[in-house]
Structure 1
Amino acid sequence: MGFDLDLTLADTRAGIAAVYRALSAETGVPIDTDAVVRRIGPPLEEEIAYWFPQERVPEMAARYRAIYAGIAIPATVLMAGARESVEAVRALGGRVVVVSGKNQADTERTVRHLDLPVDVTVGGLFGPDKGVALREHGVSVYVGDHLGDVDAARAARITSIGVATGSFDAPALTDYGADLVLPDLRPFPDWLTGRYDGRNANGHPEGRPDGYSDAVPDVHR
């Protein structure tokens, strides 16, 4: 079972905003951290390019990564339902694979900080590029908050579950092609149990637990 990290398992908003405030203080460049937080997901260099000229993007991206661990990780907390979702996978004998756009070192640090029982962490991939790692590690379902995570699942030819906890709401994720959309991870353990215990796909007689997007009543088996 595959999961994205930022705004899927990990609430990194406060930490990321703090890192950008530090960059702003160091450089004197005004940065709208609310705008930054609204765009969490794509590669770091894309966000840096909103605030610095192209020739400074490599320098500022390197500086961001240098200070990230000390500033952002202590401020990172779990998203609602994250621990329960990971533990539900493990309870059924499954493997948990985190594939993130965050660099490898900070992906690993974040998972350790949150004390999540994860089997594999892969960082530095976004969108369809994640599909290679998902296939390599035998992932059958990928859960994420971003349209790029739908692209990742599509590239790997696996089930895509969207969670409306990031930049995109449930209709946007549904319209983009997620197989199933949840408001957050809290309904995920019920869906998982249902998928793997022989009942219907989400494990509820009525067809979906509270919070499911009505636009997508089921997922591919």
Structure 2
Amino acid sequence: METLVLWDIDLTLVDYTGLGRQWYAEALTSVVGKELAHLPVFPGRTERSLARELLRAHDEPHEDEHVERLFAALEAIGLAARPSLPTLGRALAGAPEILATLAGREGVVQSLVTGNLPALADVKLAAFDLDRHVDFEIGGYGSLSDHRHDLVEAAMAQASTKHGVTFAPASVVVIGDTPMDIAAGRHHGTVTVGVATGRHTVDQLAESGADVVLPDLADTPAVLTALLR
């Protein structure tokens, strides 16, 4: 049976703490000429929900066309920062090893369910050479919807179409560091794996209903067992 592993990015594979705030502040000033006065809570959110909240909080129109303008500014800022990203963040312990190990496993497909825009997902992973292990074409990205479970649905559908197989929920693993990651996977009946490398503890992730909770990705054999059990 084919297995589809869907990775979150921020605080699951890489840590760019503080960068989101900086990029949104720059984008807001660029698009509407205002200083950042309200910062949304980021963990587990999609870029569409964050952008909409940010515009609303600054008394700006927040319909899709205005959200798209903010997206364009964020993408430009992220792409311009590409050369400096290796110095602005880090790959989390074990992330390169588990991605490479899974990439070498027959029957395993790796992609993303991330709140990031596609271009930002690419540059964040490429900074640490992690991009070569995942299929960006079938990912679920934060530009798609305010709701994270829609991203899981999109990734499962695109993977099934591309590979000519139906990825049943039991063959899909959603892995991330927040209860929202877990809830998105559980919404579709997938296997869910929490990683306590972000702002939520092992206990909190367990309470959110994760099938497995790991303290981090450092123990490659343990992570492999959790993902391919």
TM-score, normalised by the number of residues in structure 2: 0.70
CA–CA distance in 1 between the matches of 2:156 and 2:226? 24
CA contact (8 A) 2:14 2:92 kept: yes
Per-residue deviation, 1:47? 3.1
Aligned counterpart, 2:73:
63
Deviations 1:26-62 (A, max 9, x none): 6452447xx65x6233123433424522416634444
Moved over 4 A (4+): 23-26, 193-196
Per-residue deviation, 1:166? 2.3
Is 1:4 aligned with 2:4?
no
Q: What SS is found at the alignment partner of 2:61?
A: helix
Give the direction of change, closer, same or farther, for the CA distance of 1:114–1:31 in structure 2 (3 Å limit): farther
CA contact (8 A) 2:25 2:35 kept: no
Give the direction of change, closer, same or farther, for the CA distance of 1:187–1:130 in structure 2 (3 Å limit): farther
Per-residue deviation, 1:180? 1.1
Aligned Cα root-mean-square deviation (Å): 2.9
Output the amino acid matched with 2:42. Answer: R
Give the direction of change, closer, same or farther, for the CA distance of 1:21–1:176 in structure 2 (3 Å limit): same
Is 1:52 aligned with 2:58?
yes
Counting only pairs closer than 5 Å after superposition, residues 142-181 of structure 1 correspond to structure 2 as 142-181=174-213
Question: How many positions carry a matched residue from both structures?
Answer: 194
Counting only pairs closer than 5 Å after superposition, residues 32-181 of structure 1 correspond to structure 2 as 39-48=42-51, 49-50=53-54, 51-55=57-61, 58=67, 59-71=69-81, 74=85, 75-93=88-106, 94-116=108-130, 117-121=132-136, 122=139, 123-124=141-142, 125=144, 126-136=147-157, 137=159, 138=167, 140-181=172-213
Output the amino acid matched with 1:82. Answer: A
CA–CA distance in 2 between the matches of 1:60 and 1:131? 23
Per-residue deviation, 1:159? 1.0
Percent sequence identity over aligned pairs: 25
Give the direction of change, closer, same or farther, for the CA distance of 1:22–1:170 in structure 2 (3 Å limit): same
CA contact (8 A) 2:217 2:223 kept: no
Per-residue deviation, 1:168? 2.3
Structure 2 unpaired stretches of 5+: 160-166
Give the direction of change, closer, same or farther, for the CA distance of 1:63–1:119 in structure 2 (3 Å limit): closer
Structure 1 unpaired stretches of 5+: 197-220
CA–CA distance in 1 between the matches of 2:179 and 2:210? 8
CA contact (8 A) 1:161 1:181 kept: yes
Deviations 1:81-110 (A, max 9, x none): 211111221233333222212112222233
TM-score, normalised by the number of residues in structure 1: 0.72
Give the direction of change, closer, same or farther, for the CA distance of 1:12–1:161 in structure 2 (3 Å limit): same
Give the direction of change, closer, same or farther, for the CA distance of 1:31–1:170 in structure 2 (3 Å limit): farther
CA contact (8 A) 2:173 2:227 kept: no
CA–CA distance in 2 between the matches of 1:195 and 1:86? 11
Give the direction of change, closer, same or farther, for the CA distance of 1:183–1:54 in structure 2 (3 Å limit): farther
Q: What SS is found at the alignment partner of 1:143?
A: strand
CA–CA distance in 2 between the matches of 1:195 and 1:162? 11
Q: What SS is found at the alignment partner of 1:95?
A: strand
Output the amino acid matched with 1:130. Answer: L
